[in-house]
Structure 1
Amino acid sequence: MLNIADTLHTWCRAARPFALATVVQVSGSAPLPVGTALAVDADGNAVGSVSGGCVEGAVYELCQQILKSGEPPTRARFGYSDDDAFAVGLTCGGELDVLVQRIDPAGLPHLTSALEEVASGHPVALAQIIDGPEELLGRTLRVTGDDSAPDGTLGREDWDRAVAAQARALLRASRTGRLEVGGEATTCPQRLSVLVHTHASRPRMLIFGAVDFAGALSEIGRFLGYRVTVCDARPVFATIARFPHADDVVADWPHRYLAATDVDARTAVCVLTHDAKFDIPLLRLALSLPVGYVGAMGSRRTHAHRLELLREAGVPREHIARLRSPIGLNLGARTPEETALSIAAEITAHAHQGSGTPLTGSTGPIHPRQ
């Protein structure tokens, strides 16, 4: 549901009831992942999506029904629809389960608080019961990254504690996940399935080299949801005016800045300087850090010389193997914008273990099970 957090936050602050439809299970080539949501308010305004269009109309009507009637939360399954244009189903061949529930914000202050955290860019997790006793279905629990007590309740204190601990682990990994709670014959025979929605800080894209390619890459990086930093040792080039799409523009030696800033497994490091005096100390450090992606721009000749210098600098072979160089996928790019697209495409493919090959002519599912 956090894919539509901004609108939900507005509705909650206005104490406006709405119906929320959340994708809680998918199989096959379902177009959108678990946790994606669609919401409908009393005026019929809709936001979000659960299927990219295939079953949107049916889910919208179900939302309106539950919102007006006050019926308890319900689950609906949508499977394959053949070429009958009037059938309700997924033409892609997948299946999805949707949980639809009425939300009355006035009685759920912890939900408003969670959406406030998202709007402020703070990490937060929201646990939602998606399967279990009917009277518990749809209950939510707000969990922050620190050790503070969770807000709301799933129905039992021991459930709250157990889910909060696992939700914090998912939050640290920035991953939405499904948890199973209860089911012990002697202590807690009731069994719950809980979906944990997480919102972590934006992943970082660190672009080194204040060149034209950096301008285009900073724009597409921000579009993809990265917090973008452009860094260059030359203050005359590292200016906000030249890189208006970057969140931060830093004038510093690249390796010195990288050593002092925070990175994690989602961080993408893009080295666009193709100048050895900057590249080698920077790459030597970057390749030793637990970042998700390290790419460097340059020709084949530049790349070969760069590898030689890295080996001379004592960079281990297994570190060098992590380097994506020449940077980007082969799209035949010529302009800075096309080159930025090729770099962003490689970062995306690397993050999701995609092949980067055309879907035309390939086999197997488009969206492999994670």
Structure 2
Amino acid sequence: MLDIAEELHRWVEQGRDFAVATVVAVSGSAPRRPGAALAVDTDGTAIGSVSGGCVEGAVYELCQQALADGETVLERFGYSDEDAFAVGLTCGGVIDILVTPVRAEDPARPTIAAALSAAASGTATALARIVAGPAELLGRALAVRPDDSYSDDYEGGFGAHPELDRTVAAEAAAQLDAGRTGTVEIGEQGSRCGAPLTVLVESSVPPPRMIVFGAIDFASALVCIGKFLGYRVTVCDARPVFATRARFPDADEIVVEWPHKYLERTDTDTRTVLCVLTHDAKFDVPLLQLALRLPVAYVGAMGSRRTHLDRNERLREVGVTELELARLRSPIGLDLGARTPEETALSIASEIVANRRGGSGISLTGAHTPIHHDATSLPARRIGSVA
């Protein structure tokens, strides 16, 4: 549910009662991944999605029922060969959906509200909920922060064995550190002993960064698509006449500084993407020399194939190794035949998504590769097992 945290946080602040349906697990092909959510309030207003349309109607009714009776339920939806008109996924996959009431009198509301507030403000947080196990524990929640602590607003945690709270808090903190959403299996007493519980851990982390170097017209289009993909976008250029708010109204940040000097002092992580569009050796070489040694997700550089070969030689001359050069996506982007700035931005964004998700970049028509490459479709992991 943290994927719609901003809207749900507003509902909480307005005192609305609502029910939220969350995708818990996926097998086979399915349009949404674990953590995707649909919420319905008492007026019948709906936000979010769990299937892209296949089972929304049935899930909407489950939310209304949860609001009426206060019961948390776990439902499975899949394709039915026997009944072509049955509610299910036409793509052939199977999804498990947890439906939880979040009413004023429900004991889980303070914990869920705390997680929604943190996620809506951009603070890293994880929400851990029991999705399979004894009926009395179904839907109970913990809000987990990066320091491994957890919210005890809900009856000291799950209201079961105290070791369960500590184990789930530690596991959720690890998932949060990796920015992952998925399920884990834990014994009722917080170990592999006892009846197993399945816990869904939803992680919400600040948006990843996209840093675009070079305030050119192609950069303006890339800023727009970067924002569309959910990145916090920075434009950096040493030339103040070009790096202006008027030229890049959608950028989160505009920096007038030599690119390599800015990269030296700014924060990056393993989700950061760096797009070098300057194609000018005096900017590119010192910038890429640094960028290719940082643990970032993607480094791409614009330029013709001739520029690419010349730039690589210049980088070798300053000590960049062949292994480091192998990280460089240059010429930047996928082969879409792009010509306009908007088409080029789409080409770059496509390569970033393929790199992030493990896609091949080839046409799906006639291919036999999976449509979805996310590891989040893997089955629940047991505590103590090797991931």
Sort the TM-score into its range (normalised by shorter chain): over 0.9
User: Which letter does structure 2 place at the counterpart of 1:182?
Assistant: G
Correspondence for 2:132: 131
1:251 to 241, 251, 256: 256
Output the CA distance in 2 between the equivalents of 1:114 and 1:187: 27
Deviations along 1:121-159, one digit per CA (max 9) or x if unpaired, are: 111111111111100101111011125443331223211
Q: Which 5+ residue runs of structure 2 have no aligned equivalent?
A: 376-387
Correspondence for 2:26: 26
Correspondence for 1:171: 176
Q: Percent identity?
A: 63
* 2:149–2:169 CA contact under 8 A, matched in 1: no
Aligned counterparts, 1:342-361, within 5 A: 342-361=347-366
Aligned counterparts, 1:215-254, within 5 A: 215-254=220-259
Query: In the superposition, relative to structure 1, how do residues 319 and 185 fare at CA in structure 2: closer, same or farther (>3 Å)?
Result: closer
* 2:164–2:190 CA contact under 8 A, matched in 1: no
Q: Does 1:146 align with 2:152?
A: no
User: Which letter does structure 1 place at the counterpart of 2:137?
Assistant: L
Q: Does 1:67 align with 2:64?
A: no
Deviations along 1:284-313, one digit per CA (max 9) or x if unpaired, are: 100000000000000010001011111111
* 1:28–1:365 CA contact under 8 A, matched in 2: no
What is the root-mean-square deviation in Å for CA atoms of aligned residues? Answer: 1.8
Counterpart secondary structure, 1:189? coil
Output the CA distance in 2 between the equivalents of 1:186 and 1:202: 33
Alpha-carbon distance, 1:230 to partner: 0.3
* 2:167–2:191 CA contact under 8 A, matched in 1: no
Alpha-carbon distance, 1:185 to partner: 11
Output the CA distance in 1 between the equivalents of 2:256 and 2:340: 25
User: Which letter does structure 2 place at the counterpart of 1:57?
Assistant: G
Q: Which runs of 4+ in 1 moved over 6 A?
A: 184-187
Correspondence for 2:119: 118
Alpha-carbon distance, 1:110 to partner: 2.4
Counterpart secondary structure, 2:260? helix
Correspondence for 1:340: 345
Output the CA distance in 2 between the equivalents of 1:130 and 1:116: 22
Aligned residues: 369
Query: In the superposition, relative to structure 1, how do residues 187 and 286 fare at CA in structure 2: closer, same or farther (>3 Å)?
Result: closer
Output the CA distance in 1 between the equivalents of 2:19 and 2:352: 36
Counterpart secondary structure, 1:62? helix
Deviations along 1:143-194, one digit per CA (max 9) or x if unpaired, are: 1112544333122321111111121111111111212222579995232111
Q: Which 5+ residue runs of structure 1 have no aligned equivalent?
A: none
Alpha-carbon distance, 1:369 to partner: 5.2
Aligned counterparts, 1:145-224, within 5 A: 145-151=146-152, 152=154, 153-155=157-159, 156-182=161-187, 189-224=194-229
Query: In the superposition, relative to structure 1, how do residues 88 and 147 fare at CA in structure 2: closer, same or farther (>3 Å)?
Result: closer
Output the CA distance in 1 between the equivalents of 2:182 and 2:83: 34
Deviations along 1:186-231, one digit per CA (max 9) or x if unpaired, are: 9952321111111111100010001111111011101111000000
Output the CA distance in 2 between the equivalents of 1:337 and 1:57: 37
Q: Does 1:103 align with 2:68?
A: no
User: Which letter does structure 1 place at the counterpart of 2:279?
Assistant: H
Provide the TM-score with structure 2 as the length reference.
0.91
Query: In the superposition, relative to structure 1, how do residues 23 and 149 fare at CA in structure 2: closer, same or farther (>3 Å)?
Result: closer
Query: In the superposition, relative to structure 1, how do residues 293 and 185 fare at CA in structure 2: closer, same or farther (>3 Å)?
Result: closer
User: Which letter does structure 1 place at the counterpart of 2:218?
Assistant: F
User: Which letter does structure 2 place at the counterpart of 1:109?
Assistant: P
User: Which letter does structure 1 place at the counterpart of 2:255?
Assistant: V
Counterpart secondary structure, 1:341? helix
Alpha-carbon distance, 1:85 to partner: 5.7
Aligned counterparts, 1:302-321, within 5 A: 302-321=307-326
User: Which letter does structure 1 place at the counterpart of 2:92?
Assistant: G
